[in-house]
Structure 1
Amino acid sequence: MDVSPLLDDTFNAIEWINGNYKKYVAEEDKLSATERSATSAANDDDTIALEFISQSVLKLHLYMQQVHCAVEESSQKLVFDMPRIIKEAVILQAEVEELKKRMQAMRKEMTNVQEETGDCMAALERLNTMQTKLQKAKESLQESDGWGNLISELEDCFEHNDLKGAFDKLLSLQKSLQVQEQLVGHAERLEQVEGFKNRLEALASPNVVQCFADGSIEQAKKYVGIFAGIERSSQLEQYYRAVQKNSLQQKWKQILDMPATENSAHKFLSLYYNHLLEHCKQQVKWCAQVFNSTNGNFQPIIVVTELLPSLQPTRESYIVQLLKTCNERLELLEEYALANHNFTTQLNAFLMHSKIELPSKMHTSIVQSVYGYFQKFIEQYPRIEETQLSTQVDKLLLSQPTAADSVHHLENCNQKIFAWLSEACERCKNITDDLALCRLIEIISSILKKMLEIFSKTQRQIALSIGQGTENWAALQCAMSLLQCLSDFQIKLHKFEKGMQKRMTTLKEMLSAAASSTTIYSIYTDQEQINLRKSIEKYQRESVETENSYSSAIFFTSIYEQIKVHCIDTHDIALNVLLQPVEGHLLNIQSTMSSTSDALMPENMPAFSFVPQECITQIGQYLLTLPQHLEPLLFTPSPLLKQALEICNIKYTQSSIPCADTLLSLVVEQCCHLYQSQILQIKNLPLTSAKQFAVDIEYLSNVVEELGLSISTNLSQILILLKANPDNYLALSGGCEPRLVTAIRQMRNIVSTQ
């Protein structure tokens, strides 16, 4: 029996007993066949369980007895050893007390020794300090005696323009000055030495400028040593930068003064950047051989950061002049932005290849020097882009003489406008790295609204082209084509907006990483970046608020809403086209009846006949001819038209029903509504006239059934009420709408018995 689980913190007695019982049963099952057969007659499951319990209890008693014996033995041993342990503890405590007394005595002796020797050590220190001062004073007096000689020798070197001799004497003078630090008048001598340094620098400066201009490595090394010796290395680096900036400024003027051909006028910035990059690469290698310090290797980069903002004329002013005389202003800005980007990319690649690690501040200076001037053009870009897009769209969206021409023109406009918008977005990326994307979205929204205004004008043209009481299949064709055009417009807008969403997300990520990057985004101040991020978050927040209606709309939610309105209005125009003949025939009912007021008079009501009235048969014949006119348009509609129809009415979303049948059902529904309204205008209806109207409605119902449809519920109830016997009117009108029951009863002059 395994008793180790008894020590476990998560011990479970039931699980432990069951586990041991299963092991016991398994061991019993391993008995030989003869043994198991011999015992099977006498033992059952209960017997096995009792045997397991008895054996387990016996084993547990044995374990408990062993534990008790072990505890008893340990207790006796502890009692036996306790006096010895107490005795040893007392001895140890006495030894500790003795050690403590000895330490206190030793500490007292050390204090006495320190007091006795402290005065002696202080006296020795004072004597050593006095000896040092005396030695320095001796050396200072000796150097002071030779100071005048050094001054005269140095002056003689300056008179003979002996640069090397003057440098050596000045070094000796500096050493002598360090020794004379303790003498009176050290400050005046220090100023005198600084004056000699200035004279030496002035003597060397023409040769320094010349050797930097010639690129002489040996001469440059000599002057690096001289300026380092007089602690003027920073001034030497300034001379180097001044010479290089002067040379590059002259190159800038040469490029601008090149013959004003089209290529040179537009490519001047790329040409200069290429020259500047090659010059920088050469100078980095040259400086690595000349300057000893790490800062010396950075000098060509510092030249670039100091030169570009100080160019005369400035890049900004020269580009502004070109923009004033050029019609392709956006193309020019795109080219200059690309030049900025290429120069920065190539410069960073060169630094990485050369394993030159610049400080973060210097990276920021590079970006500011390259892109700083271009921030003005980034701010001007939206206005220039808006002017160009508006001009293009205004020329394109010209009024057409007919509705058919307008629809055909809109089909061509969709493709062109979205192509222009895509080009504008690409320009925004190339010129501003999408920094002007939020402003561009507003411009695009206004352009799209102009396009929707043309859709609205075309709708009015189609509505005005509908003839009174005649079949206008051309107008119907125009309405369907306009619906298809609207759907195409929506699909293109959806695809266009998806691309804009990705770019907006990328822009936000780039702005978040602007602090650690060397891109154009880092030229913006923290506040400007915060304002731009707020604009982006505003669009994203609006997207969340409107996702129930337009799951994909972020930037152009109002445009999608207007598209839906235009689709519904165009669909209504199509219905009006189809219902125009029906309305004309229904008006014939009124034209055959004289009326002294708005109500039709009973003496003008039609007499009963087993055939429907002519106007009703004309309506029926017209409805029967509708399928053959609608099938070419809607039986197998294009995906664009299908989508537009689904926007107009939810019934078109039923995939099992053709769009032609759905439109036909809507026509029938409106036809029944018009016929019902016509009937309900009658005030007095004789019995014979009521029967005639019932025949008319039954005929119309049969026609509609042939089309696979049914008349409206209200018209069916009117038929029941017209056919109802006056004596049993109320009983037969059960289940009909109360309003119709009352209207027909009053029309037929049936007296209510209630």
Structure 2
Amino acid sequence: MDLKTFGEDNFDPKQWINKAWSTSGNQEKEIFVANTVSRLQLYMKQLTNSLDETTTQIVSSIPRILQDASSLQLEGAMLQQKLHALEQKVQSVEEQTGHSIESLQKIDQLKSRLENAASALREADKWAALASSLEDILESGVPTQGEKLTELAEQVSAMTASLEVLSDAPDYENKRLQLETLYNRLEAAISPPLIEALTQMDAERTATYVSVFSGMGRTVSVCRCWRRAAAARLASAWRRLDAHTLSALTRLLAGEAGRQVDWLTNVLKSETPLAELIRLYTDLLLSLEPAPTKVVSANLKLCSSPKEAILLLTDLRTDIDDFITCIQGVIDAPRQNKETLLPASIREFGRAAYAPLRELLPKYTELETQLLLQNLNDPQLNQDDLLEVSRAILTVSERCEGWLSGAHSRAKKIAGDAHPVFYMPAVENFTSSLSNLISAHSRRIESTFLSSADAGHMTGVLSTSFPASLALHTAVANVLNTLAQQKDVEETKDPDPLHDLPTLVLDADVRQRLQAFSTEPPASAAVLRRTKEQLRSLARAILRNPIDVQLEKIPQLSVWNNNDALSTDLPDFALSPQEYITEIGQYLMTLPQHLEMHLSEKQAPLQFLAEVCTHTCEVYAEKILNIRNMDALGTKRCLNDIVYLSSVVEDLGSSITPSLRSLEKSLRAATPSQPSE
């Protein structure tokens, strides 16, 4: 039997009994229980005996364990005393050896000082000899032979190293000033031959002079001499050109770029060859004579037409872009220990490269304005016939989209992402001139209409003023739609510093308003919108004029009062519509066919017709209310006229207005009923 089960924390007697019973086979319960109880009692007795024996052994062994612990305690105390004594001996030894170590350190320091003193004396002697030798060389003249120059370079390097050794000497500052003076004299002496070697592109001689400057720790002076020589050579080549053009200049500089970087890297041992090249070209472009900007300006003045001048500006942008692309290729070329150029120096170079374009971009606005305004020099715009002039302006408006699209493309080619600053003013100038032309013609149409109306001539849909005003209204709408499409909002991106035209050709304050140039419509668009509304009102006034003339007569007609009693008793069917209302009815009935002649589907002829009908009913109601002393027969006649107008309006697909319908009801209520026969 496994007794471990009884010692478990989760022991359950029921589970144990059931498990034991399941393994008993077919044994009877009484026998199984009796046997199990006997076995458990036997195990309990054995376990009790084992516990008694173990307890007896533990009690008998405790005194011996206490005795062993006491002896261990005594031995630990004795060991602690020995360790303390050993610690005291170690401290004594340390104190004795510490004095010896301090003595050794002092001796070593003394030795070092003696060695430094001896070295300083030797370096002082060497310094004096080198200084004297260099002084003699400067007095007799700097050698130009390769071997002598190599010796001079070694001597200069030795003097620099010697001065570093003498950094603790009392007269170090005097020696440093003396050496600086000698080096200044040496630099002044060898700079001219170095520049000559650089100008002649003599790599061997240049390398020797570079070693001398390197020995002096003045490699910056080498780069300065290189810039002077390279700038002088390139400026001379520019002056010798047969034809001074920007394309020739960019080819000259682009062809030299890779060669100069190789020289800077391999001969001058420059650690920043690209930065030196960028600085050279920046200074050179700003100092050339004749200046590239003057050359391009002079060529621009020789252009015989705005189109030719704009083509020159386009070629100018292309030449500069080709040059920039070449320099970008040199910068991006793979090389060891590739340097990182400062964005400020790149932008400065870019502004120098694009300087001719930056100076001439305002000219583009003038040229584009001239080119666009040439489209308004059409003889058709100067005719006497109102309608023909309106049609000519309508033709101009339909062509505006093509003209402005071409102008936008040209501006993009010339100014890149900075084009809105120069393109939109040209659009504004053109639109303003076109707006003035439209406004003047609108006033002419209005004046003609008013003169005809004052003279009592029939105007309306059959007059020339109406189609002229409609055509002009359509022209204004076309121009406004074209201007709405001119908004040039492009996705914001982070361009390369050398191709960031807004930064390179625009001033900071203008650059801040670049977005406004791109999104805001021209100021003349507001004028065109007002003119459009005025033309719309003018067209409707002309169209309604015959009706207004007839309606104006209503309050003064004599048929509304002073009718005799016999006439008053006439039945309604005996009354006919009066002349004024029949004139209005006939005019309204002829409008649909006439409007279709002048209006397109976009202009909604039915809308025009509905507006005229509504206007007629509204004004008619107002005029009836102005009639005084209307008698019974006059009321009948008025009601008969209203019925006639209502039938005409319904035939035209509309209906009389609520105000006129209410007036009709009021008049019927006030009319006495006919007496029965």
TM-score (norm 1): 0.65
The whole-number CA distance in structure 1 between the counterparts of 2:208 and 2:616 is 106
| 1:128 maps to 2:111 | no
Cα distance in 2 between the residues matched to 1:621 and 1:434: 61
Query: Deviation digits for residues 352-389 of structure 1, max 9, x if unmatched?
Result: 1344844332x432331341485797488458626862
In structure 1, C-alpha distance between the alignment counterparts of 2:419 and 2:135, rounded to whole Å = 65
2:37 matched to which residue of 1?
A: none
Deviation (angstroms), 1:430: 4.5
Q: Could you tell me how far 1:309 is from its partner in structure 2? A: 2.6
| Map 1:375-454 → 2, pairs under 5 A | 378=358, 381-382=361-362, 385=365, 389=369, 392-393=372-373, 396=376, 400-415=383-398, 417-426=400-409, 428-435=411-418, 437=420, 441=424, 444-445=427-428, 447-454=430-437
Work out whether 1:572 is the aligned partner of 2:537.
yes
Cα distance in 2 between the residues matched to 1:100 and 1:683: 141
Structure 1 letter corresponding to 2:562:
P
> Corresponding residue for 2:341?
360
Q: Given the alignment of the two structures, is residue 469 of structure 1 paired with residue 449 of structure 2, yes or no?
A: no
Q: Matched residues in 1 for 2:564 and 2:331: separation? A: 101
Q: Secondary structure at the match of 1:272?
A: helix
CA distance in 1, matches of 2:448, 2:552: 20
Is 1:630 the equivalent of 2:595?
yes
Q: d(CA) in 1 for partners of 2:260 and 2:279? A: 11
1:23-65 deviation digits (Å, cap 9, x = unpaired): xxxxxxxxxxxxxxxxxxxxxxxxxxxxxxxxxxxxxx99998
- Tell me, which stretches of 5 or more residues in structure 1 are unaligned? 1-60, 68-79, 541-553, 595-599, 646-658, 730-754
1:177-188 alignment to 2 at 5 Å? 185-188=171-174
Structure 1 residue 491: deviation in Å?
Answer: 2.2
Which amino acid is 1:489 matched to? V
Matches within 5 A, 1:80-479: 114-142=94-122, 159=140, 161=143, 162-173=148-159, 185-255=171-241, 258=242, 264=244, 268-296=245-273, 298-316=275-293, 328=306, 333-355=313-335, 357-361=338-342, 363-372=343-352, 378=358, 381-382=361-362, 385=365, 389=369, 392-393=372-373, 396=376, 400-415=383-398, 417-426=400-409, 428-435=411-418, 437=420, 441=424, 444-445=427-428, 447-466=430-449, 467=452, 468-473=457-462, 474-479=464-469
The residue type equivalent to 1:700 in the other structure is L
Which of structures 1 and 2 has the larger relative contact order (alpha carbons within 8 angstroms, sep 6+)?
2
Distance 2:272 2:240 in 1: 31
Tell me the equivalent position of 1:488: 478
Counterparts of 1:479 and 1:133 in 2: how far apart (Å)? Answer: 109
CA RMSD of aligned residues (A): 4.6
**SS in structure 2 at match of 1:401:** coil
Match of 1:720 in 2: 665
Output the CA distance in 2 between the equivalents of 1:65 and 1:438: 99
CA apart distance, 1:347: 0.7
Please give the per-residue CA displacement for 1:534-568, whole angstroms capped at 9, x wherever unaligned.
5467789xxxxxxxxxxxxx513976665554444
Matched, 1:679 2:662: no
Per mean C-alpha deviation after superposition, the further-off stretch among 663-672 and 192-201 is 192-201
CA distance in 2 between partners of 1:108 and 1:321 (Å): 102
Amino acid at match of 1:459: S
| 1:76-128 CA distance string (max 9 Å, x none) | xxxx9xx9xxx9xxx9xx9xx99999999988777665544333222212211
**Aligned counterparts of 1:406 and 1:673: Cα–Cα separation in 2:** 34
Shift of 1:252: 2.7
CA contact (8 A) 1:136 1:179 kept: no
Native 8 Å contact 1:211 1:219 kept in 2: yes
- Which secondary structure state, in structure 1, belongs to the residue aligned with residue 240 of structure 2? helix
Match 2:613 to one of 668, 676, 697:
668
Aligned partners of 1:620 and 1:703 also within 8 Å:
yes
Instruction: Report the 3-state secondary structure (helix = DSSP H, G, I; strand = E; otherwise coil) of the residue aligned with 1:496.
Output: coil
Q: Residue 330 of structure 2 aligns to which amino acid in structure 1? A: F
The answer (yes or no) to whether the contact 1:157–1:165 under 8 Å persists in 2 is: no
Amino acid at match of 1:501: V
**Aligned residues of 2:577 and 2:641 also touching (Cα < 8 A):** yes
Q: 1:313 to 1:411 in 2, by over 3 A?
A: same
Going from structure 1 to structure 2, the CA distance change for 1:419 and 1:103 (only over 3 Å counts) comes to farther
2 CA distance for matches of 1:537 and 1:114? 82
The 1:66–1:108 alpha-carbon spacing in structure 2 relative to 1, beyond 3 Å, is: farther
Name the structure 2 match of 1:501.
489
Contact 1:462 1:475 in 2 (8 A): yes
1:576-635: per-residue Cα shift (whole Å, max 9, x none)?
A: 3332333344456567649xxxxx76359997643222333233223222222223444x
Residue 235 of structure 1 aligns to a residue whose secondary structure is helix
Q: Which moved more, 1:431-440 or 1:282-291?
A: 431-440
Aligned match for 1:613, one of 564, 578, 583:
578
> Compared with structure 1, are the counterparts of its residues 522 and 233 closer, same or farther at alpha carbon in structure 2 (3 Å cutoff)?
same
In the alignment, the residues of structure 2 paired with residue 319 and residue 105 of structure 1 have an alpha-carbon distance, to the nearest angstrom, of 101
Partner Cα distance (2:360, 2:329) in 1: 30
Task: Determine helix, strand or coil for the equivalent of 1:469.
Answer: coil
Output the amino acid matched with 1:469.
M
Q: State the shift of 1:279 in Å.
A: 0.7
Query: Distance in 2 between the 1:317 and 1:486 partners?
Result: 43
Q: Is the 8 A contact 1:334 1:431 kept in 2?
A: yes
Tell me: CA distance 1:194–1:664, structure 2 relative to 1, closer, same or farther (3 Å): closer
Count of residue pairs the alignment pairs up: 585
Distance (whole Å) between structure 2 residues aligned to residue 66 and residue 116 of structure 1: 81
Assess, with a 3 A threshold, how the Cα gap between structure 1 residues 130 and 390 changes in structure 2: closer, same or farther. Answer: same
Q: Distance between the aligned counterparts of 1:367 and 1:631, measured in 2?
A: 63
Residues 123 and 721 (structure 1 numbering): CA distance in 2 closer, same or farther, change over 3 Å?
A: same
Q: Post-superposition shift, 1:317?
A: 5.2
Q: Higher Cα Rg: structure 1 or 2?
A: 2
What is the distance in 1 between the residues matched to 2:465 and 2:173? Answer: 104
Shift of the 673–122 alpha-carbon distance from structure 1 to 2, 3 Å rule, reads: same
CA distance in 2, matches of 1:245, 1:64: 109
In structure 2, distance between residues paired with 1:465 and 1:585: 20
CA contact (8 A) 2:317 2:413 kept: yes
Letter in 2 for 1:240: W
Q: Is the 8 A contact 2:461 2:595 kept in 1?
A: no
**1:519 aligned partner, one-letter code:** D
In structure 2, stretches of 5+ residues that fail to align are 1-9, 17-53, 59-64
C-alpha contact 1:305 1:366 (8 A) present in aligned 2: no
Is it true that 1:602 corresponds to 2:584 in the alignment? no
Contact 2:160 2:215 in 1 (8 A): no
In the alignment, residue 258 of structure 2 is paired with which amino acid?
Answer: K
1:517-543 Cα distance to aligned partner (Å, 9 max, x none):
763445599xx65x5575467789xxx
Q: What is the TM-score of this pair, normalised by structure 2?
A: 0.72
Aligned-residue offset at 1:682:
1.5
| Aligned-partner Cα distance in 2 for 1:379–1:726 | 85
CA distance 1:293–1:713, shift in 2 (3 Å): closer
CA distance in 2, matches of 1:626, 1:518: 62
Q: Is the 8 A contact 1:407 1:481 kept in 2?
A: yes
1:289 & 1:576 partners in 2: Cα distance?
A: 86
For residues 148 and 573 of structure 1, the distance between their equivalents in structure 2, rounded to whole angstroms, comes to: 105
Q: What is the CA distance between 1:271 and its match in structure 2?
A: 1.5
